Amino acid sequence: MYDIAIIGGGPAGVSAAINARLLGKNFIWMGSRPTSLKAEKAELVKNYPGLPDATGEELSWAFKQHAESMNIPFSVRAVTGVYETGGKFSVLAGNEETEARTVILCLGVNAQKPVEGEEEFLGRGISYCATCDGMLYRGKTIAVAVYDGQFESEVEFLCEIAGTCYVIPLYKGYKGAPAKGKEIIKAPIKYAGGRRVEEVVFKDGRLAVDGVFVLRPSISYTALVHGLATVGGHIAVDRACATNIPGIFAAGDCTGLPYQYAKAVGEGNVAAHSAAQYLSENKGS
């Protein structure tokens, strides 16, 4: 079991990882991609101390190099759930489960809003995890809403299992070949049903389904961690970057404005120190 699981490969995550290493913690660092797309996008960063006129790409590269120079490994995983189990946490990503005594969420802000009904039916016919729940739908009718190319092999896996598989690609350049799937090029506006999800609703029609897989690189904070308190759409934290759940910390854009590199790395630092302090205060438990 790890001392700390750090989720997110952006500036907050890299800072948390560097500091966790310097604090001598046994930790795992993971994220849906090795750097943050958002962090790479800035044309010119004028407000990061010591590196005037760096581009977002250069800054991200420097962060990555720093972690690599300390031999900090990064594991590419899109996390679908964090669950508390008897004083420790299970971090689920596909069929991989990692246990840690503390978690640092460095998730950035999620630009993709959940579709109406997505969170309501989560666990009741809607799943974020193909490998965890795919087998439950052998021979059944499913829809797969896919938001990123990294999930194309999961789409293929689901279409092999399902009886009828409607693939709904929601990004440009979808290359998956739905051999046993039917591609639908329109965006769902709602997932509807009764006790479980029963339909995918579009502007101009609906599909009857037994289940829906929503494959996104990032999912909402509260869908990821049940019971996590938020304020104004961000994860609520105190000055120690502690959330309302003891042992879970958060850093960076996900905790609120301003969305800035310096705030993200500062909070990554604070969260790593707070996690270390929490571990020493809760040694025996």
Task: Give the residues lining the site for ligand FAD (CB under 6 A).
Answer: 7-13, 31-33, 36, 38-39, 41-42, 45, 47, 78-79, 106-108, 217-219, 224, 252-253, 259-262, 264
In DSSP terms, which residues pair with 56 in a beta bridge? none
Residue ranges in 52-126 assigned as alpha helix (H): 56-69
Looking at the Cβ atoms of 193 and 220, the one nearer to ligand FAD is: 220
Give the nearest distance from C-beta 37 to ligand FAD in angstroms: 7
Rank residues 108 and 247 by Cβ distance to ligand FAD and give the closer one: 108
3-class secondary structure, 55 = coil
Nearer to ligand FAD, 147 or 202 (CB): 147
Q: At 86, list the tokens.
A: 């008897």
In whole angstroms, the minimum distance from the beta carbon of 105 to ligand FAD comes to 8
Kindly tell me which of 21 and 38 has the beta carbon lying closer to ligand FAD: 38
Q: In angstroms, what CA-CA distances link 149 with 4, 32, 146, 171?
A: 29, 12, 8, 8
Q: In the bound complex, what is the minimum distance in angstroms from residue 274's beta carbon to ligand FAD?
A: 16
CA angle 18, 66, 238 (to 5 degrees): 35
* 29 phi and psi angles, rounded to 5 deg: -120, 125
Compare residues 107 and 126 and give the one whose CB is closer to ligand FAD: 107
Tell me the closest approach of the beta carbon of residue 210 to ligand FAD, in angstroms: 25
- Minimal distance in Å, beta carbon 219 to ligand FAD? 5
With a CB cutoff of 8 Å and minimum separation 6, the contacts of 97 are 90, 91
